[in-house]
Each structure stands twice: as C-alpha cells, then as structure tokens.
Amino acid sequence: MGVNQTTVAPRHVRADLRRIASWIEPKSRVLDLGCGDGTLLAYLQTNKKVVGAGVELNDEHFIASVRRGVSVIQQDLEEGLALFDDQQFDTVVLSQTLQSMRHTEHILREMARVARFGIVSFPNFGYWPHGWSILRGRMPVTGEMPYQWFDTPNIHLCTLRDFESLAANLQLRITHLATFNGNKEVKLLPSWRSTLAVYRFESPN
C-alpha cells in the first residue's frame, strides 16, 4: 500500500483538535488513542514536528491514517495499553472516545501510566437541551450525540463536573479545560452551553 503524506491545513482541522494541538509541545512524543483517520497526528507531524503514533481499530480509519503517513497500530483500546512502556510518551490523546469505553477508569489510569500529560474530550451531557429532552420523556439526540438510544455506542455519558470528580479520585491534576459548541469555543456558562469538553491533565506518576 502506498503512503501519501498529505499536509493537513488548519482550516481542515476541527476547532477542538486545534485546541488539543495548542497544548502539545513541538517535537514531543504523542500517542493518539482512537486516532480515526489520522487528521490530528498528521497535523501535529506537519506543524509541530512531533514523533507520533496512533491506535485505531476501525479498518477504514486505519487505512486512512496509514495513507496520511501516520504510524498506527490496529488494536482494540479495551485490551489496554500493555504494548507501551511507562512514560513512553509526553502526551496521550483520547478524543471523543472516552464515552464509548467500557472501562473508563482503567483507560485513564493507563493514559497516566504511558505519558506525563493526557488529553481527553467527550460530549457534555450537561448541555441544557439534553435536560429538556429528558423532561419531554426522550433521550437527547444532538450533533455530538447523534445516535438513538438503541444504537448508540455511548455507554458512559457524563457532565463536566462528573469528569472532574473522577479525575480527582484518580489523582489526575487538571491543567487546562476548553469547551465547544460546534466549531465555536464556549467561555460563558460552559457546563450548560457547551456540547463538547476537552481536558488536559497531568499524571501523578
């Protein structure tokens, strides 16, 4: 299979991924869990000269990552990160995947083991229209959570405060928070007005 190392322009990268990239040091070592089509890693390799690796299970996404010139391993994240040594990376990213993990605490502990810093993003279940949907007797369906209750991969939905409480229990020190509604960053009342939360934390190790 030929590898086409394409340059990813900032305008083609989602706002939340650009924010994640802004928290990563140039020339650092980055592991992207559930890397999708490799957009973030390709962007980081081009713009920040990082040494990156990805983990992705989906066949089409795996192939797309390879074609972008991303070093990627095809593996189920539920099996853990045993392939990687302690503190092998500077930053590990888990973007919009945490809510679909069966073993949430385990993957966060593993992220803290393999890297000094972790970055996670997830849909904010505290977004105010979600509460309105529930009051009307229906599970919410929004842009960040587009699935019906019977076919959703999201099994562990949470609010910002829920995640912060879990991080504290795991001794993960939160260093940065950014929240988004669509492609716009939310500054005012983020717990109510944002559809997506992005956290950066420091490992206790």
pLDDT band at 6 (very low <50, low <70, confident <90, very high): low
Give the integer Cα–Cα distance in Å for 205 and 195.
31
pLDDT tens per residue, range 12-52: 789 999 999 999 999 999 999 999 999 999 999 999 999 99
Yes or no: domain 10-202 corresponds to CATH 3.40.50.150? yes
What span, in angstroms and rounded, lies between the C-alpha atoms of 172 and 115?
A: 12
| Choice between 110 and 2, residue whose per-residue pLDDT is larger | 110
Q: Which residues of 23-62 are buried (b: 16+ CB within 10 A; e: fewer)?
A: ebeeebbbbbbbbbbbbbbbbbbbbbebebbbbbeeeebb
3-class DSSP assignment, residue 57 = coil
Q: What angle do CA 63, 143, 33 make, to 5 degrees?
A: 35
The answer on pLDDT for 185 being more than 80 is yes
Question: Does position 189 have pLDDT exceeding 70, yes or no?
Answer: yes
| CB contact set of 193 (below 8 Å; sequence gap of 6+) | 127, 128, 179, 181, 186
Q: What pLDDT is attached to residue 205?
A: 76
pLDDT tens, position by position, 99-130? 889 899 999 999 999 999 999 999 999 888 77
Q: Which residue has the higher pLDDT, 102 or 135?
A: 102
Give the start-to-end residue ranges of the domains of the chain.
10-202
Tell me if 170 sits within 8 A of 199, measured CB to CB. no
Q: Binning pLDDT at 50, 70 and 90, where does residue 56 land?
A: very high
Q: Are 86 and 205 in contact (CB under 8 A)?
A: yes
- Residue-averaged pLDDT of the chain: 89
> How many alpha carbons lie under 13 Å from residue 99 in its C-beta half-sphere?
21
